[in-house]
Structure 1
């Protein structure tokens, strides 16, 4: 299993709830979590699927709700 990490502009649990439907609809994500108590507000996504496909789907789900997202290097 691979964990993808993204820097986001999420600020609170309300933001997390806003992206939840989009994130839960992505096929290939085993689990995901948001770490709000760090400066970069990291989203971690566990997957066994194609990393590029998952990264693109996460980008679309988060930006569709008005938040920014940047994939962090491994």
Structure 2
């Protein structure tokens, strides 16, 4: 069963996504996360089958962005 977590972030553009991509790909795997930059809260959704919510949050912050767990 796939479980996901959602984070409110300050990832706001394609450049931001390019910066965070290697960090998240290493943590949760390529194709197992996405950011909705059209949403006012810039929601990042990630699969937790490979990493915990805490590990995902740390990965986002390591890339230089903020993340607030929503669920």
Q: TM-score, normalised by structure 2?
A: 0.84
1:24 aligns with 2:25: yes
> How far apart are residue 47 of structure 1 and its match?
2.9
CA change 1:4–1:39 in 2 (3 A) is: same
* 1:68 aligns with one of 58, 66, 69: 66
Number of positions where the alignment pairs a residue of Structure 1 with one of Structure 2: 70
> How far apart are residue 54 of structure 1 and its match?
1.7
Tell me which stretches of 4 or more aligned residues in structure 1 moved more than 3 Å.
27-30
Tell me the residue number matched to 1:10. 11
Q: Which has the higher strand share?
A: 1
